[in-house]
Structure formats: C-alpha cells, structure tokens
Amino acid sequence: MTKKKNDSQKGIENLTDEQMKAIKNTEQHLSSALQMLFECQDLYLSDIRNLEQSMWDLRRTFDLDQRDW
C-alpha cells in the first residue's frame, strides 16, 4: 500500500459517523448533479438544493469557514 493510500485510509478510519455521512451524501449529490448536467445540460432545482445542503453539512460537520455562517 502506498503512503498516500495508507494516510487516506487512516484519515477515513478516524472520521466520526456524522463526518462520513456528510461526505457520502455530498458525493451522491455531486454525482447526481453531474449526471444531470451531462445528460440534459440542465440542473433541477432539487439538485441545486441538494448541493447547497451538502455544502452546509460539510462546513458544519468539519467546522469549515465559519465566517460565512
């Protein structure tokens, strides 16, 4: 196992359940939005809402950039 992969695995193992959930939800929302963009060259409002929710979940869960909220 490479050092980068090993470090990544250690990082994942140290995440809380809430952090892992935020990451998984964000990945799903990004994937869905990108798929819609590629297929239709458009986004539904629900995709935009999910992306915004994912952004706030990541910021809150990982204590990122508090000046915005």
Gap between the Cα atoms of 54 and 39, Å rounded:
22
What's residue 12's pLDDT? 87
The answer to whether residue 69 scores a pLDDT higher than 70 is no
Tens of pLDDT along 6-62?
878 888 899 999 999 999 999 999 999 999 999 999 889 999 999 999 999 998 888
Q: How far apart are the first and last CA of the chain?
A: 40
What 3-state DSSP class applies to 69? coil
Alpha-carbon distances of 29 from 12, 57, 59, 68, rounded to whole Å: 20, 12, 15, 21
54, 60 in Cβ contact below 8 A?
no
pTM strictly above 0.95: no
